[in-house]
Amino acid sequence: MNYSQRFTSAQPKRSHRAPDLSRLRQHMCNELVRRGITQKNVLYAMSTVPRHLFVQDALRSQAYEDAPLPIGYGQTISQPYTVARMSELLEVEKGMRVLEIGTGSGYQTAILAQMGCHIISIERLQELFRKTQTLLHQLGFRGIHLQRGDGTLGCPQAAPFDRIIVTAGGPKIPEPLLDQLDPENGILLMPVGSKQRIQEFIKIRKVHGVTRQEACGSTTFVNLIGSYGWRFP
């Protein structure tokens, strides 16, 4: 299905769509469908958010390949399949309040905003925080609030959250994040692994105060550095 054509009217402001990049984005979405991504709101977001604007200028031609890319400061933008898969596993609905840890390039943030979520996203590195804040503002995304700090502490003053997504890998789920998840119908997703850069997606679901945990496949993320993460980069 050609999602790019179906949803062109919902493009974010100033998307700078070049025809060849649009075609590549459409091809990326077709590949996501082929690999099993089925949720319409995820495919809609992936087909309309211009990933090439979230990568370094020199890498724009590679933006729609299914690969992570460097974004500077030793960090990466996650590969499109990983972003789509995490967005599906999170089971988001329009209007949900989402806490994201690890803003990075802001691409995953933009995908969730395009799906209608209200997001607080926390980034540890000042330079990335500033750069991404400027970009998301320029692109005109709404419902996003960026913060700089140690995301393993969460954002207690804005809790509880319907959804919490951690886009860096840590040794265990940070306690403060568990505490800040909505007890009635909350989902938290995070790459967890006892070794650095080798993790498994862990999905925590809280329903009426009861917590269940599910493993959702292996993955590789940069390290979550902080009080409840790895102590050193």
Query: Site mask, ligand SAM, residues 61-90, x = CB under 6 A?
Result: --------------xxxx------------
199 binds ligand SAM (CB under 6 A): no
167 binds ligand SAM (CB under 6 A): yes
Select the residue whose beta carbon is closest to ligand SAM and give its number.
102
226 binds ligand SAM (CB under 6 A): yes
107 binds ligand SAM (CB under 6 A): yes
The count of other CB atoms within 10 Å of the CB of residue 209 is 7
- CB of residue 194 to ligand SAM, shortest distance in Å: 17
Closer to ligand SAM by Cβ: residue 48 or 209: 48
User: At CA 35, angle to CA 103 and CA 52, rounded to 5?
Assistant: 40
Q: Which residue is it, tokens 């089925």?
A: 38
Q: How many residues sit close enough to ligand SAM to count as binding (CB under 6 A)? A: 26
Contact indicator for 229, 170 with CB cutoff of 8 Å: yes
123 binds ligand SAM (CB under 6 A): yes
The catalytic position among 4, 22, 47, 78 is 78
What is the rounded (10 degree) CA torsion for 151, 82, 11, 110? 0
- Return the DSSP state at 230: B
Q: Which residues contact 192 (CB under 8 A, 6 or more apart)?
A: 169, 170, 171, 172, 173, 199, 200, 201, 202
Q: Would you call 78 a catalytic residue per the annotation?
A: yes
User: At CA 113, angle to CA 219 and CA 134, rounded to 5?
Assistant: 95
- Candidates 21-29, 45-53, 135-143, 148-156 — which segment interacts with ligand SAM by CB under 6 A? 148-156
- CB of residue 129 to ligand SAM, shortest distance in Å: 9
- CB of residue 16 to ligand SAM, shortest distance in Å: 18
Q: Which residues contact 130 (CB under 8 A, 6 or more apart)?
A: none
**209 — phi, psi (to 5°)?**
80, -10
- CB of residue 207 to ligand SAM, shortest distance in Å: 26
Contact indicator for 192, 128 with CB cutoff of 8 Å: no
- CB of residue 10 to ligand SAM, shortest distance in Å: 20
144 binds ligand SAM (CB under 6 A): no
> For binding to ligand SAM (CB under 6 A), which residues are involved?
75-78, 101-102, 104-105, 107-108, 122-125, 128, 150-152, 167-168, 221-222, 224-226, 229
**Active-site residues: which are they?**
78
